[in-house]
Structure 1
């Protein structure tokens, strides 16, 4: 006589997961999360907005939140018990185990084919403050411009190599640092007592700033932690008149050069050259950039739709990408991914590696390439008329608005000639 199996055993045999070995993926609670990376300088907080993607199972739409910026990540997916948030443009990702209202895991960034950098990551659902809840009392107000010296050896502002631009409301602080080669994008944080705390995470920029304010001397003194292991001390002095060097004088055409000459391949196999017919009798903008560069992405986010609106006026635009690898097999897909992300319909060629010395050799008509991005304006006769080093992105507020106004004014002038 055969023995009968217990009812519990029969039930287990009938369950699909028991038969197939498959388990139902975990679900992520939708909403706002207070996320932190655990760095050498302490917790680096930022916001995440995670929402299920309509019509796609186990897929989520994710935004990183820094100040006024909602930066879209690539589509996130749940695999078993973990959420995977790729940031392909910057070759990084957030991977975290789902544990109710909490995500725990790592941020990982690829540096080479064999090497990655990682930092511990954690996110708590339902919290929307940065370093400390809003409304806590403060003893200082940091709104305004601050002449800044990153890397100060004396503890004083010996060299102004950046300008801090801050806006404080209560204990909530936003702003950025302007530098001769670009800005630090959207920084968000708090004033706690007499101290400044600011942070930014966009998948590439990983910045944490801390400083103590001395109201007697109107001085901030602290440190900046960048990425996995970067650190630099900084000092800032309140100065409403603080200014940076003229960005139009850092890179220029050599006296021996008549115009900008280049010839580089696109990922599609075509070669783009300044002598191409498409540029003849056109006002041409040359964008020196890299797909790895967040400031370049800010500029591209401006230039791509601007070009669509203005190209019929007799304007051309070309991007010269300096990537981490000079090999098209490695860098071509990154350029294509960037073009798709920002809907770029002007040519972007691989010009070399992102080492500034190598970039300068690739464009020998220039004195040097000192920053990514650098934007070169060429008139209808093929003459270089203006070179702007760096880019003040939308995180800089009025400085971005001023740049856009000056940009359009220059283009109008060149078109009218």
Structure 2
């Protein structure tokens, strides 16, 4: 009888141990699917079967919500409204009408980067690993090759077109930061690693991932490739402290016989706005051609919005004309409203139509050789166009950015005193 009781006791003990292990296993699985706060290293697929690395930081707010901050050099892009349910992470990128969607399993995430404005967008591959704070594998030996300063950089497109640009780089240990300036704007905040053999740079601020792979071919020479989701561009560069872009005020002008602009477009409330309105008559007016989808336009707006608040009582006005991803007015109203709210913009932004050179010249037929978003037009008190600035090189360009602000203020001051 005693033996039977012991046997029965042992069976119950085994069952209890099994139950404890089962519960622990389930609990362990649940813990593995928790989104972890801290630094993650992500990768996004780009052309050439390559992957562009980027870093982001997760800050959890309870079990199912968080803030994600994209890290690019000095830049911090905070993404709010992040949700986490079950094992599914969704990171809205509201500024660019996109999102990151991934499935979390322990210290890994696998999913897609999806552009919402593209119907049935299949997305590009997105993966991430927790706790890794280096974009690229660090060099085994410290690099000694001097790369700090300005470089003349040539882009050779797949169609064979060549454009001259300016690279600016700064090193700290094995880390390199900087940007590449083009006539339409800069590539914003690039970050990466370098050795005596070459440089690797990447960035992701929410719109498109960038990967740049450069190999040195001499003390002051390099060749390489620029990878995006849209294709590849060959690069070559040489160290040149005198490297410069074409004059941004010489690229776009007015067609012969024109001195003024004539447009009438709706604002967000449906009111028709024209330069002949009382609000603009006898004032200096700045017209910015932009898109809510354009990173360089956002950099310009981050400058213009507070500048307008500080200067609007001096007799100066700003009008934005936005060309959006879709012709749809309801869609445009949503994207432009978000833009105005984000930058607390006190001047009107009008809807010009869908993005495209032909649409811009349809709204502003006076323009000759429109080529870039943003394009900024300076109009004097008599309503005459005095200068047109193509592109915008923002905070990532350092001295170039501060020099532009000085030029901008000098030009506006001059027009106001006339």
TM-score, reference length from structure 1: 0.88
Task: Give deviations 1:2-45, integer Å, cap 9, x for gaps.
Answer: xxxx999xx9xxxxxxxxxxx99953211121221133442311
2:190 and 2:202 in contact (8 A); partners too: yes
Q: Check the 8 A contact 2:41/2:56 in 1, yes or no.
A: yes
- The answer to whether residue 90 in structure 2 is matched with residue 88 in structure 1 is no
Deviations 1:162-192 (A, max 9, x none): 1111112222111111111111111111113
Q: Distance in 2 between matches of 1:47 and 1:307?
A: 34
Structure 2 partner of 1:207? 210
1:45 to 41, 47, 53: 53
Q: Any runs of at least 4 consecutive aligned residues in structure 1 with deviations exceeding 4 A, and if so which?
A: 23-26, 152-155
User: How big is each residue's C-alpha offset from its partner over 1:131-175, in whole Å with a ceiling of 9 and x where there is no partner?
Assistant: 1237852252321222121117899xx955211111122221111
**3-state SS of paired residue (1:300):** helix
Q: Secondary structure at the match of 2:80?
A: coil
- Aligned equivalents of 1:169, 1:25: Cα separation in 2: 36
Cα distance in structure 2, aligned partners of 1:279 and 1:139: 57
The secondary structure found in structure 2 opposite 1:120 is strand
Show the 5 A alignment for 1:227-242: 227=229, 229-242=230-243
Matched with 2:386 is 385
Rg (Cα) greater in structure: 2
2-structure distance, mates of 1:312, 1:239: 43
d(CA) in 2 for partners of 1:194 and 1:148? 18
Cα shift readout 1:338-386 (whole Å, capped 9, x = no counterpart): 1112211211111122111321222011113210001111122211111
Cα distance, 1:109 vs. partner? 1.8
Deviation at 1:273, TM superposition (A): 1.0
Give unpaired runs (5+ residues) of structure 2.
1-11, 20-29
Distance in 1 between the 2:228 and 2:120 partners?
18
Question: 1:101 Cα shift?
Answer: 2.5
Distance change in 2, residues 1:117/1:391 (3 Å) = farther
Query: Is this contact kept in 2: 1:108–1:118, CA < 8 A?
Result: yes
SS in structure 2 opposite 1:161? Answer: strand
CA distance in 2 between counterparts of 1:397 and 1:148 reads 17
1:339 aligned partner: 340
For each residue in 1:309-350, what CA deviation from the matched residue of structure 2 results, as whole angstroms up to 9, or x when unmatched?
211222211100011222202222111111112211211111
Residues 259-338 of structure 1 mapped to structure 2, 5 A cutoff: 259-338=260-339
- In structure 2, the residue matched to 1:184 is 187
SS of corresponding position for 1:375: strand
CA contact (8 A) 2:32 2:105 kept: no
Aligned counterpart, 1:34? 41
The whole-number CA distance in structure 2 between the counterparts of 1:369 and 1:89 is 25
Q: Distance in 2 between matches of 1:295 and 1:115?
A: 27
Sort the Cα spacing of 1:348 and 1:139 in 2 relative to 1 into closer, same or farther, 3 A. Answer: same
How far has the Cα of 1:48 moved from its partner? 0.6
Give CA deviations for 1:280-302 in whole Å, capped at 9, x if unaligned.
Answer: 12211111000111110111111
Tell me which residue corresponds to 2:121. Answer: 116
Structure 1 residues 154, 369: closer, same or farther in 2, change over 3 A? closer
Q: Secondary structure at the match of 2:250?
A: coil
**Secondary structure, aligned partner of 1:209:** strand
| 8 Å CA contact retained: 1:147, 1:160 | no
Given that 2:153 and 2:167 are in contact with CA atoms closer than 8 Å, whether structure 1 keeps it comes out as yes
SS in 2 for 1:413: helix
TM-score by length of 2: 0.88
CA shift in 2, pair 1:243/1:160, >3 Å: farther
- Which has the higher mean CA deviation after the structures are superposed, 282-291 or 137-146? 137-146
Counterpart selection for 2:109 from 100, 103, 112: 103
For the residue of structure 1 that corresponds to 2:253, the secondary structure is coil
